[in-house]
Structure 1
């Protein structure tokens, strides 16, 4: 995993603690008793379909909204009773780049430095870090989407926040810009920063997150590492393809629990996707002198997890 878990006196320290979090707008309950814990120096990703309550969660945790009930501690500070202390430890990058198009990139950073009462000398370093030095004196109106997102994140880093909330940081970016943003996020976490990430891209959570939680209709329906969540979903199998019908017939007799596809000359054999079960399967074929032309292992991915937990496919995932 990409995150670096912080250890304090032999114990894992906690950056964010949430217990019994509830929030409603009118008669609509958006968050219905959320409990979660985020370890320092890790990436925690919150997934969920449209209307699940992810952005509301981020807004409460970052002190932009007040919860109806429950407790939230960020960097050890209660966001209800001591919001100023919590804000001093965090940075927030929202779904849309919060940059001023009338200013240059450098001017945006200098403005944020003034607001955070930070030394302007940090600006040059951030411009270099995010590969924006050449465009520093150019109006942000001319920036690409990827450049705006990088500038937005650079502005978030002013004041050296130790906890950063990223709400869909790569939405709308091209693949190259997404990869660049991933590298920046990994670099931040390697330096001990904690990332709370919402994303509409399941592969992003799979690549980056140390732990993932799935939010649906205001409730957490699952939490764990990517591997742990995938193991909860049945459907792992080995696909064996054969050169001819005779080999397929022989294999089907040896493996009666397999699903046969005559058009493709293949069998799908249920399994756990592990090396031991794969070795046993291939040994069975070898012992009966049956040779597969090719094989592949299929295990559930986060799309399968999301569909099983929420009843909705990945195409409907958006962070709200």
Structure 2
């Protein structure tokens, strides 16, 4: 793994990459669960002595005391992270409400659904108001209402000065929150910057990938205003800054040339298209 990462207070950094790219490994190194083969981790937040009480972590796997209630679990993790005893009840109660667990607070965790366990895990990561919050696929198992609530909670954490590093395949979630995005592939950063910086590298063109029968194909020369055929070696790839408004003209030109159309794929500028172009891979669905 060859990654240089510096995170400022209040900054939200998103890690974007395929499965096995190294996102979870990086989070576990920051958490001091794994030791890097080379390089250093600098900062008092990450010392073995005090780092854990200043960090919050929610991974892909839930880890709770299943025989205890949700609120008992939350109290335990709050105290373990150093929250003063007189502050615990108020902090836990507030977060239970925010993450949508108030009605299940007094139920044993063994009776929780997967989504409820995920909410409790996020609560436990947040309850001590960490200075550095590490999240691995935080929206997995969340319904749309809970996902929106998490978005609001993380914005508030950022505004209050918490640095957040999160890995996710949820592109809409990343687009709403991330100040900076690192595209990771095979343990290295292949592209990084703000959303505006990264998306500007794509230009504003919409791409149409049209699958055609190539048995007897003779392509026309003109496909409409501001439409360019950029690749005809396989599926036909068109680019246009007119968006999907250009599609009828492309279609008409192909049909008039008696080209047999087999399929269409539309690629709008966005994080998914950025990732595909810089890595040559598709993100997991």
Shorter-normalised TM range: 0.7 to 0.9
2:67 is matched with: 102
1:300 is matched with: 269
- Partner residue of 1:133 out of 102, 106, 117: 102
Contact 2:55–2:131 (8 Å) recurs in 1: yes
Structure having the larger proportion of residues in strand: 1
1:270 is matched with: 240
String of CA shifts for 1:133-176, please: whole Å, max 9, x gaps. 33221112233333322221221234331111011111132323
User: For structure 1, which segment, 228-237 or 215-224, has the greater mean C-alpha deviation from structure 2 after superposition?
Assistant: 228-237
| Alignment map for 1:162-311 (pairs within 5 Å) | 162-234=131-203, 236-237=205-206, 255=225, 257=227, 270-271=240-241, 299-311=268-280
Structure 2: runs of 5 or more not aligned: 209-221, 230-237, 244-266
2:216 is matched with: none
Contact 1:237–1:271 (8 Å) recurs in 2: yes
Contact 1:203–1:302 (8 Å) recurs in 2: no
Q: How many residues align?
A: 238
Structure 1: runs of 5 or more not aligned: 1-30, 240-251, 260-267, 274-297
CA 1:114–1:306 in structure 2 vs 1: closer, same or farther (change >3 Å)? same
With normalisation by structure 1, the TM-score equals 0.66
CA 1:130–1:189 in structure 2 vs 1: closer, same or farther (change >3 Å)? farther
After TM superposition, give the deviation of residue 68 of structure 1 in Å.
1.3
After TM superposition, give the deviation of residue 67 of structure 1 in Å.
1.0
2:44 is matched with: 77
Contact 1:109–1:154 (8 Å) recurs in 2: yes
1:123 is matched with: 89
CA 1:155–1:138 in structure 2 vs 1: closer, same or farther (change >3 Å)? same
CA 1:256–1:176 in structure 2 vs 1: closer, same or farther (change >3 Å)? closer
After TM superposition, give the deviation of residue 89 of structure 1 in Å.
1.8
In 2, Cα distance between the equivalents of 1:96 and 1:119?
Answer: 27
CA 1:99–1:257 in structure 2 vs 1: closer, same or farther (change >3 Å)? same
After TM superposition, give the deviation of residue 311 of structure 1 in Å.
1.4
After TM superposition, give the deviation of residue 257 of structure 1 in Å.
4.9
String of CA shifts for 1:222-264, please: whole Å, max 9, x gaps. 001112111212561499xxxxxxxxxxxx79836556xxxxx
CA 1:114–1:234 in structure 2 vs 1: closer, same or farther (change >3 Å)? closer
Paired residue secondary structure (1:66): coil
In 2, Cα distance between the equivalents of 1:254 and 1:169?
Answer: 44
Q: State the superposition RMSD in angstroms.
A: 2.8
After TM superposition, give the deviation of residue 192 of structure 1 in Å.
1.6
String of CA shifts for 1:191-230, please: whole Å, max 9, x gaps. 2211111112122211110100011011100001112111
Contact 2:29–2:36 (8 Å) recurs in 1: yes
With normalisation by structure 2, the TM-score equals 0.74
